[in-house]
Chains A and B, each alone.
Chain A
Amino acid sequence: MTDPTFRAGFDAALETAINTALKYDPGTRARLQRLDGKALELNLTAPPLQFCLCIEGDQVRVRGHWEGEVSTRLTGSAIAFVRLLRDPAATPAQLDVSVSGSSALLAELQSIMRDLDIDWEAPFAQLVGDMPAHTVGNLLRDASRWLSGNLRRAPRAAAEAVSEEWRLTPPQAQFEAFVEDLADLSLATERLEARVQLLKARLRASGENFSRRGAE
């Protein structure tokens, strides 16, 4: 069994991180306040860990041991939980997450997490002042935009390099034309085969007629 000191340390660190982030997102804090008193129990299968997120006012308390009422209980992997809370299209069934209790709390938390808008510039401004924080914030935002744009474009650019620059694969248009020609050829072959079969059948029929007349 894990020493309760380490476990309490983990819970305290997670709680501090969550509440520090929330400090810079008043909108989310206001929405959390409406869930005051609710508790979400998370049973992680990978890594194996169990804890409860209790909403107290506009704060989240992380408890390794909770004897109070649990509003919603989730069981699944850590990655699945993150996807469930962040990905609007994700559903518990898709991610192999089992849900018991109120699904309304889960839906509300999903909505809150998707709308999360933490002003990271604010804590930095408290340390170094408004102007430097804003300048660094702009640089980071530009870098983030550039990075996310490039990441979005990366698959298409890689495909073009492989086909157009290095000629390792045919270009997509050429490949599609080839597939179309192949389909036409396949169809024409099938027609030809059908025609040959028809001609064979006719030849057989006329051969049989000729033999019958000869016998008569």
Chain B
Amino acid sequence: MKDRKTTHFGYQEVPVEEKAGRVADVFHSVAARYDVMNDLMSGGIHRLWKRFTIELSGARPGQTILDIAGGTGDLTARFSRIVGPKGQVVLADINESMLRVGRDRLLDRGIAGNVVPVQADAQYLPFPDNTFDCITIAFGLRNVTDKDLALRSMLRVLKPGGRLLVLEFSKPQSRLLEKVYDQYSFRLLPFMGKLVANDADSYRYLAESIRMHPDQETLKQMMVDAGFVDCEFHNMTGGIVALHKGLKP
């Protein structure tokens, strides 16, 4: 029997072709209560992480921005205001449920005209080369099956000089914080998931997928290997989250 190539899905090893489907199931399940859970899980701090991401994006009126794994549209909403009517923000997500929630939420807030929702896989972005001034992917890269492929795809669609910002959970920089964070992630998080979204498994997967995600230095090297230059990262909240930045040469 021929060996099948596998990848991780949280702490499980699954065939590569199954991961996207399994991740999709998780996000179909959490989409409706995604925002409530984000606020609850992070104590609202995810808004500050995103605020810093927006600042480092250096977005300007008239620019074209791609918000990959844009989910419920937090970053897209802010970018839409910054780029103005002459710019454009593409809200991309592989998951139809998340995209629908995001699109509806943006429309409910009166954000339209310069926002285009697109269902897209980060590994195979359906855009021409050199299209975007800036690409952001917030809390999405760890769910991508082949991260190297996704990074190369992002590099392709970025304009020369354009920047990629990867906001993602990472490795806490202190032992004590790591222990507290482990207890929180593996005990409290699934419990809250069960209580609020009636879905402990999805939130257990989120905690496991965070642990399996490359740490700060590894991800930075992956970006360099993909072809980005001037790569750097900023640890936030003691390294629980890191913002990586790289430019297309």
A-to-B contact residues, CB < 8 Å:
3-5, 7-9, 11-12, 56, 63-68
Contacts and interface: CB of A to CB of B under 8 A. Distances in A.
Given A5-B45, A5-B49, A63 B237 contact: no
Nearest to B56: A65
B52 A8 contact: yes
Contacts of A65: 52, 55-56
Interface of B: 45, 47-49, 51-52, 55-56, 58, 60, 81, 234-238, 243
A70 to B, nearest CB: 14
Most A CB atoms within 10 A — which of B51, B56, B60, B243?
Answer: B51
Nearest to A67: B58
B55 A12 contact: no
A4 B52 CA distance: 7
Nearest to A63: B55
24 contacts: A3-B235, A3-B236, A3-B237, A3-B238, A4-B52, A4-B234, A4-B236, A4-B243, A5-B45, A5-B237, A7-B52, A8-B48, A8-B49, A8-B51, A8-B52, A9-B48, A12-B51, A56-B81, A63-B55, A64-B52, A65-B52, A65-B56, A66-B55, A67-B58
A191 B112 CA distance: 93
B73 to A, nearest CB: 19
A156 B235 CA distance: 57
A121 B49 CA distance: 34
A5 B236 contact: yes
A12 B60 contact: no
| Nearest 4 pairs of A and B residues by beta carbon | A8-B48, A67-B58, A65-B55, A8-B51
Contacts of A64: 52, 55
Contacts of B48: 5, 8-9, 12
A62 B198 CA distance: 39
A3 B240 CA distance: 11
A41 B89 CA distance: 28
A4 B234 CA distance: 8
Contacts of A63: 55
Nearest to B60: A68
Nearest to B50: A8
Contacts of B47: 12
A65 B49 CA distance: 14
B56 A11 contact: no
Contacts of B235: 3
Contacts of A66: 55
A88 to B, nearest CB: 34
Most B CB atoms within 10 A — which of A3, A56, A67?
Answer: A3
Contacts of A3: 235-238
Nearest to B173: A3
Most A CB atoms within 10 A — which of B55, B235, B237, B243?
Answer: B55
A1 to B, nearest CB: 9
Most B CB atoms within 10 A — which of A5, A7, A56?
Answer: A5
Nearest to B45: A5
Nearest to A1: B234
Contacts of B238: 3
Contacts of A11: 51
A11 B237 CA distance: 16
Contacts of A68: 58, 60
B216 to A, nearest CB: 14
Contacts of B243: 4
Nearest to A64: B55
A5 B58 CA distance: 18
A65 B52 CA distance: 8
A67 B56 CA distance: 8
A3 B234 CA distance: 9
A4 B242 CA distance: 10
Nearest to A57: B81
Contacts of A9: 48
